[in-house]
Amino acid sequence: MPEAEESQNVTRAELEKGDLQVETGKAYHFVVENPTRLIRVLAEDENGQALAGRKFTLKAGGQTFEGTTTDAGLVELKIPSDATEASLEVDADDGGKEKHEWTLKLGKLPPADTAAGVRERLKNLGYGSDNLQLDLRQFQEDHDLPATGASDGATVQKLVELAGS
């Protein structure tokens, strides 16, 4: 079994294995690394209006996170990296009596500079037709980019900014 030093970083897997020996009568400081990943969700009502400044609750990986959406209706926080599903509730009104609810399937996005990566990010932002060029043009118009329908550098950069890398 490995012996612990007086200050040492330990992964969760090492700690759960239980094979770390420490000497009694000494104080030890352990930092357990719990990997996380950033999740970004744009919360909109059924009319496509951003749910800005609304309280939200997100449950993922056995943890509950609470906060307030940004002025653009964005929920952005770090969740456990092993979470594969999340539930999100956002207040529909300022009183919190009614809520919008979503179940989110979590996975990794293809690289942003590929057609699949562009399509997935557009879909996550609500541009989900079967016509990629039309979706790109609409996205570009909505974000004051030249509406070419092509996935140029500025468009990919904006997609990454809004939908993640």
pLDDT in 10s for each residue of the chain, 165 residues = 455 455 556 666 666 666 667 778 877 766 666 688 888 888 988 888 889 999 999 999 999 999 999 998 989 999 988 899 999 999 987 776 889 999 998 888 899 999 999 999 998 888 878 899 999 999 999 999 999 999 999 999 999 988 877
CATH 2.60.40 range(s) for the chain read: 36-105
pLDDT of 33 reads 63
Beta bridge partners of 41: 75
CA distance 115 to 113: 7
- In this structure, CATH architecture of domain 36-105: Sandwich (2.60)
Instruction: Tokens 């104080």: give the residue.
Output: 27
Distances (CA, A) of 106 to 1, 86, 114, 137, 157: 37, 7, 19, 27, 22
Handedness of CA 151, 156, 159, 164 (dihedral sign): positive
pLDDT of 48 reads 84
Whole-prediction pTM value? 0.58
Going by C-alpha positions, the residue among 146, 124, 123 that lies closest to residue 135 is 123
Instruction: Tokens 């020996």: give the residue.
Output: 21
pLDDT of 1 reads 46
